[in-house]
Structures are given as structure tokens and as C-alpha cells.
Chains A and B, each alone.
Chain A
Amino acid sequence: MSAIADKAAIVGIGATEFSKDSGRSELRLAAEAVRAALNDAGLAPADVDGLVTFSMDNNTEVAVARELGIPSLEFFSRIQYGGGAACATVQQAAMAVATGIADVVVCYRAFNERSGYRYGQVSSALASAPTSSGIDAGWSYPMGLGTPAAQVAMIAQRYMHVYGATSEDFGRVSVVDRKHAATNPNAFFYGKPITLAEHQSSRWIVEPLHLLDCCQESDGGVAIVVTSVERARDLPNPPVIIRAAAQGSGSDQFVMTSYYRDALTGLPEMGIVGEQLWSQAGLAPEDVDVAVLYDHFTPFVLIQLEELGFCPRGEARHFIADGALEIGGRLPLNPHGGQLGEAYIHGMNGIAEGVRQVRGAAVNQVEDVAHVLVTAGTGVPTSGLILGAA
């Protein structure tokens, strides 16, 4: 049994609206999300003694603490590797709570990713950074491979070649996410489902990826409040227990360009996360009632299903057929609409959905949810969570 499993609980979630142009500062989005999460938890800023975010977040812990009037912090931490940080922020919080380093830790992520700096464009700043990441980028950016879509497309093409998956197989992920988003009033694509034919006819971004294989770009913020299971019992919401929390990085790991491993058909870093999650929680894939899988690009949802053990390698396209990922199917996926349908908040909105599903309070609620699996960014060193009812 892991030292952190079942020691900490998520007791509050909060978010701003999700939009293409928030019209306000990233710090304000962070402060609004954290305040909303504390209100949800029935806690005050003075109860908070820890803050965790992504290394990519532009709002320092001290700036957020100032805006909230948090009088003192005893724990603050940041996680690297873009969206791979999402579930790891909760792992950091759970470790701090389990070890007694902190009592109430808030994880947050807020950005103007659409109206401000857009991750989907070519980042010349990354390519010219005098760091090991900058040196790594020198093996791809000068050759013209410099956007997340292109970086994912390279692996997707190989995966299609080896296993016979098709663009339509990828499109089914997009269709189910948009179906779920269509009935989620908080989703950017509320009321806007798509068909597989629309996916197929959407323009190329980077072959083999169509536009509708790529998640949206969003402005917004999400915050998650973590405290001990004991304290959680005294708070208003039913506690959502952190059954397992893990990070993973694999052999010969690069950030988005791990192209030099023997096979180019998997996400070994996610496999490493999955093994820890099953081990910590004492659970297996068949125990999962809802999967919130990181879906910035559709092909990596299929590969995650394989890495996490839901199906054998190369068979995800069969696993997802016949509505398996829809609510009522054998593994409901992203009932909030995912990042393809709800919003791209770097995976943090997926954790909030996992919490709602365990509480039984989601807009697209799955019946009798005991365990939710949540994953973070793919193609990068990443992380995952299993959330469960008390």
C-alpha cells in the first residue's frame, strides 16, 4: 500500500467560465478559480497553507496568495512538462498532506491560452532557450517540426501504419467528446455535437490530424482543494478520496519528441503512471467506472487505453467501437466533453470532472461511480490519479 493512497481527499473544486477571450488577467482568473474552490470546500483563505501549480503557469504562488489574502504559506511547489503536470499537482498536495507538511493545499492553473500566448503555434522562444530543452528542440524545430499537433502526428502516423488504425478511429474520440460537451452548459461546444463525417471533412492541420482531432484553445482557470481525509469528514462536500496518484517518465524520454525508442506506437511514460496507480489503489482497469483521459489530440486517447491496460496494444480502435466510450457504454470517457469539447485548461478541468462524477453531481452523471481514472498531458512526462468515494 502506498504511503499516500487514501490519506488525502479533494474537498473543493472551482473554475472560471471557459472562453476564447476572458478579458481579464491570468492572475485574476487564478484568484477567481481558487476563491471558487475554497467556497465550494467551505474553507477560508486563512485555512490554506499550501499552493501548487504548473511550472508553465504565469501566476506565482505568492501573487495568488496575496490576491486571496492567504496570510502564510508553508508549502509551494511547481511541476514541469506542460499538461503532464495536471494530476501531479494533486499528487504534490496529497504528499504534503499525508506527511503533515501542509494541511490545506490548493492546486491551480489559469491562463489566457487563446487570447494571449497560444501553445498551438511554433514556439521560437523554446527553440532558442540556452537549456537542455533548447538543445533538444534543435533536433526538430529547424527541420520544421515545431507544433504540438505535428509532434503528435508523427507518432499517430506510425501507430496507424503498425496497427491499421484509421483517421476515423481517431475521429470517434472527437465525436464522443463533442456529444458529451453538447449537454454540458459549461462547455465551449455546448449544443454543438459533431458527426464523424464532419470530422473527416475538417481541414488538415498536420496529416494525419484533421482540425477536429485537435483540442480547442481556451482562456480560463481551475482550482482543486486538497486536505486530509480526517479533516474532509467535517467539510460540506462528500470527500473524494485520492486513491492513487503517480508521475511517470520513460526510457529515452523527450518532451513531445520521444522518437528514438524502439517502437513509436506507445506512451511508455503513461504505462509507468498506470502501473503505479493500479498498485497504489489495489484496483484494475475493470474497476474504473469513468475515464477522464487527456485529449489534446485524439490519437493519444487510443494509445492511453492500451498503456493503461484497458485493451491490448493496437486494439483500442476495436475497444472504442460501438459506443463504448459514451455514457452507458463500458468505459464512459470524458463526460464533461474533455478538452476537445469543454475547454483546454491543461487537464485541470478533467480533474474537476472526476470529482463531480464521484460526488454524483456531474451534469452528465454516470450511474454508481466508485472509481474515476484521470490522466494528464500525453507525449510528455506525465501523471495520473484514481479518485474514489469515501
Chain B
Amino acid sequence: MTERIHDEVERVKAAGASAPKPGRDPVNQPMINNWVEALGDTNPIYVDDAAARAAGHDGIVAPPAMIQVWTMGGLHGQRNTDDPLGLMLRLFDDAGYTSIVATNCEQTYHRYLHPGEQVSMHTTLEDVVGPKQTGLGEGWFVTTRNVWTVGDEPVAEMLFRVLKFAPRPASPDRSAVLRPIVGHDNAFFWEGTAAGELRVQHCPTCGRLRHPPGPMCPSCGADKQDWVVAAGRGTVFSYVVHHHPPVPGKQLPFVVALVELEEGVRMLGELIDVDPATVHVGMSVQLALTKIDDELTLPFWRPAS
């Protein structure tokens, strides 16, 4: 995919500038009047011939920042088929980078324009950089240069950069969760979740159930411990709704519950598939073991069905 993108970028770059696209109308006073009114620009050189002459011009001039106005396509305008930006947007749409945001726009004005001048614009593809990991998702930065001309004379230029990106999926990247340290005393638990079991430490000597587990029974001192498999049902003993700051592998906001198992021990877990506003102490929940990857299966909980 990346190779196909690079090939197409090179092809468009090699094709050079698009054919000049003439503006629909010449530079004209009615459009200037509308524009300065809309923007609240009260500079008289755009509307008053005497003021413009007093400022050293040959007559009324157009506001330089209107440059894009003169070559806009109109409400139903189409990009020309050789427009590099249009070609790039279609390429990235097809490749799954369906969202767009403008990131940079630098305009340079070589001279003032006067009513009656006919402006054309052509575009070249300057650069395409990617794929980049951005705050919005993976994407490509596309930079184009527009040049406006009157006859053969360049009158203004614009460097324009957009980010075409693939929006993040709605579900979090759970593989980013912080990993438990696994050692002698807790391996049975994590091997259990991977095997589809919720294991609770059990003392073969005195029968005590214990979570979190440890190497020695606090009740009777036995140092050999085994486990039982929990039924995976419990109630919410307490809970929080986490809003801030971000937590690796979690999508804000999320609920963490302290679940009291039917077997009597408590354990923490993220409560999923639930509206946080409906969570309450005493709520019945059931286990939802979720494989993160080959190394980790996490116990989540969801409302009991």
C-alpha cells in the first residue's frame, strides 16, 4: 500500500503544474464590497478611488487576502482532473485515510490586484510525507503550492498543507495496558485467565480463599497453596469512573469496579459494556475474560445478563 502511494506521488510530482484554471469573473468591485463588509475591513483603499490614489495606488485595489476568492469554483465547482490536491485526496481516500484537516497555509502576495484583472491559478505537488503517527491517527502530510497569475506574471502564491488521516477506531488499543509482573506467587492466576479460568488461591491446609494471592497462608502459615476456579459471578463492592488523566489501554471515561466474588474474595476489574451512570454498589456482574494477546488475558466484568 505504502509503495503504491509513493508511486502515485512520484507520478503526480513528475507531471508538474496543473493547467492554469481561470477565475470565473475578473477582479471586481461588488465582490470586494461584499468581502470587506463580511470581514469588517474598513481600509478605504478597497472601496474609495480618491483614498486609494492618496495612498499611492493607481485606483482602487483588491485586498490581497482575497486571492483565493478570484479562482474559487463556486457552489457546484469541480476540481480539474489534473489538480494535484484532488488527485492526492482521492488516492488517500481509497487507501483508508478518509479524514482531512488543514495544518498550514502560508500566502505570499507579489503585488496588489486591480478591478478588471483576470486571474488564473495553477497547482503543483510539493511534497508528501508519511505515514506519521499523529494525535488524530495515522496519516500523511500533503503539501501543495498554488500560484496565481495575471497573464504570465505571478501575483500571489500559497503553500498549503493538509493531514489526510485514518481516524482512530472507537475502541481502545487494549494491547497498551500496563502488564502485570508474573512470578512464582501469581503465575497460576495469569495462566488461569489464559486458560479461560478465574483462579482464586486456596489453602489446602486450612481452606482459606485469598485474593490477591501470596506465598504463605496468613491464617495457618502453610507455604504450599493451590487454587479453586471461581464461577465468575459477583457484585460491585465499590467502583470509580475514571475521567483523567489518560490510562494506557483504556478509553476515557471508563469504570473500574471492585468486585466481590460469590466465593467471597474481592478483585479489581474494568467494567465494560455499561453506561457509567447506571453502575451502583451491589450491581450483579459477570466475568468477561478478554484475550489481549498471546501473553495476557485480562479479567474484565460486565453487567450480569
Contact = CB atoms under 8 A, between A and B. Distances in A.
A278 B22 CA distance: 90
B250 interface: yes
Main secondary structure of the interface of B (DSSP, over half): loop
A145 B239 CA distance: 10
Contacts of A136: 212
Nearest to A143: B268
Contacts of B212: 136, 139, 260
A174 B234 CA distance: 35
Contacts of A206: 240-244
Interface stretch (A38-46, A52-60, A123-131): A123-131
Interface string B149-168: 00000000000000000000
Query: Is the interface on chain A under 10, 10 to 19, 20 to 34, or 35 or more residues?
Result: 35 or more
Interface in B222-269: 237-250, 253-254, 256, 258, 265-269
Nearest to A129: B181
A135 interface: yes
A365 B196 CA distance: 62
A128 to B, nearest CB: 7
B178 A122 contact: yes
Contact of B178 (A141, A161, A259): A141
B30 interface: no
A34 to B, nearest CB: 33
A128 B212 CA distance: 17
Contact of B244 (A139, A140, A203): A203
B128 interface: no
Given A134-B181, A135-B186, A259-B268, A124 B241 contact: no
Contacts of A361: none
Nearest to B299: A143
A153 interface: yes
A163 interface: no
23 contacts: A128-B178, A128-B179, A134-B181, A135-B185, A138-B179, A138-B182, A139-B180, A139-B211, A139-B268, A140-B268, A141-B180, A143-B270, A144-B177, A147-B247, A158-B258, A203-B244, A204-B244, A204-B253, A206-B242, A207-B240, A208-B240, A260-B212, A264-B258
Given A120-B245, A142-B177, A158-B238, 20 more contacts: A122-B178, A122-B245, A124-B248, A127-B180, A135-B186, A136-B212, A138-B179, A138-B181, A140-B268, A141-B178, A143-B268, A145-B256, A147-B245, A150-B240, A157-B238, A157-B239, A161-B281, A207-B241, A207-B242, A257-B268
